[in-house]
Amino acid sequence: MRGRRRPVLAALALVGTAALASCSAEAEVADTPAAPMPTASLGSAAVPLEKCADKAARTASYPPLPLTDRSTGLLGEIVKRGRLVVGVSADSYLLGALKPGSVTEFEGFDIDVAREVAFDLLGSRDKVTFKVITTADREPAVNAGVGKNGVDLVARAYTMNCERWGLVNFSAAYFQAAQDTLVPAGATEQHLKQLGTEKKVVCAPAGSTSLKALPRLAPGAVPYSVDQHTACLALLQQGQVDAITGDNTVLAGLNAQDPSTKVLKESLSFEPYGLASAKARPELVRYVNSVLKRMEDDGTWQRLYDKYFAKPLGPKKPPPLDTSKPLPS
């Protein structure tokens, strides 16, 4: 398609991710094959969308439950089971990814935040099973629940917006990201909009807010959707796409994996991340809100941010934890 050809550094990671896409991936392996991951998305019309035009309404969550409350609804089910099941990415380096050379161990900011939830709820950061899901899997997986091959919680760079509030429940925002663009280091473009003017091919995961925003941010750009960000990186390395658009957190990880790329360092959107629970189970995110407050107070959030993102993204403090959202009736 284009003359640029580079080694496909992400190909092996992509194959590994695909193989794990419907498997439980930490500490326990089922003796019988898992049922297929549910793929049918809940229609947004099924739940009335809330009016959340301003940033504060998008990032506010419900009042927290005390950390000592381990019996309410889904919390009691998780405690009885003895493990928290969390949907994560396997290929978002710095956020959620398999450790090099491993098919069961994960690392990243989202992974460590999930471990903190397990610590407060179950008494151990190791009592968590990470389940690899795609961007498009997030809503159906968390609403299905563990009993139907889903998850309790999603920790996967999940941007909070009006439509998604109609599909899931979110914790308060625990990270503030922004949409940006990754291009080859030798590219002349300085802005995503230029890629649209030049009708370049821009890659992003299916179901992502970045892909949905592309026609508005770069009119004329040719969208190319895939399941995982590493698939975008492999295509960029092969010369099959011209750029990748996504959250700056994800792109920082891709750039760290392939230094022959660069991030344009634009802030094109407001991308607050929340941890998500099922629409019918708000008690879990209410508990998470207390965990996030504890992490802010004892310095855990800052330690994790500095470990993963201080170098690529610069210094940052935790976002304000807004828990003023009225409880669902």
Mean pLDDT score of the chain, rounded to an integer?
Answer: 85
Q: Which of 165, 167, 138, 169 minimizes the C-alpha distance to 154?
A: 138
- Comparing CA positions, the residue from 158, 169, 226, 219 lying closest to residue 194 is 219
pLDDT at 171 over 80: yes
Instruction: For residues 28-53, give the mean pLDDT.
Output: 35
Positions of E strands within the chain: 84-88, 91-92, 96-98, 106-107, 128-132, 153-154, 168-170, 175-177, 179-184, 201-205, 222-226, 243-247, 261-263, 271-273, 276-278
Mean local confidence (pLDDT), 1-11: 38
pLDDT of 12 > 80? The answer is no
* pLDDT attached to residue 103: 85
Predicted pLDDT at 37: 35
* pLDDT tens figures, 273-311: 999 999 999 999 999 999 999 999 999 999 999 999 998
Q: Which residue has the higher pLDDT, 165 or 28?
A: 165
| Spatial separation of the C-alpha atoms in residues 4 and 188, rounded to whole Å | 14
d(Cα 72, Cα 209) in Å, to the nearest integer?
Answer: 33
pLDDT of residue 211: 93
DSSP string, 175-207: EEE-EEEEEETT----SHHHHHHTT-EEEEETT
Which pLDDT score, from 0 to 100, does residue 110 have?
Answer: 98
pLDDT at residue 123 greater than cutoff 50 = yes
pLDDT in tens, 190-244: 999 999 999 999 999 998 889 999 999 999 999 999 988 889 999 999 999 999 9
Q: Mean pLDDT across the stretch 243-247?
A: 95
CA–CA dist 3, 122 (Å, integer): 53
Whether the CB-CB separation of 156 and 89 falls below 8 Å is answered with yes
**DSSP line for 66-107:** PTT---STHHHHHHHHT-EEEEE-SEETTTEEEPTT-SS-EE
Residue ranges of domains in the chain, CATH in brackets: 20-27+53-176+272-309 (3.40.190.10), 177-263 (3.40.190.10)
Could you tell me the pLDDT band of residue 51, with boundaries at 50, 70 and 90? low
pLDDT at residue 314 in the model: 86
Residue 56: the pLDDT is 72
**Residue 57, pLDDT score:** 75
pLDDT bin (cut points 50, 70, 90) of residue 11 is very low
Give yes or no for residue 50 having a pLDDT over 70: no
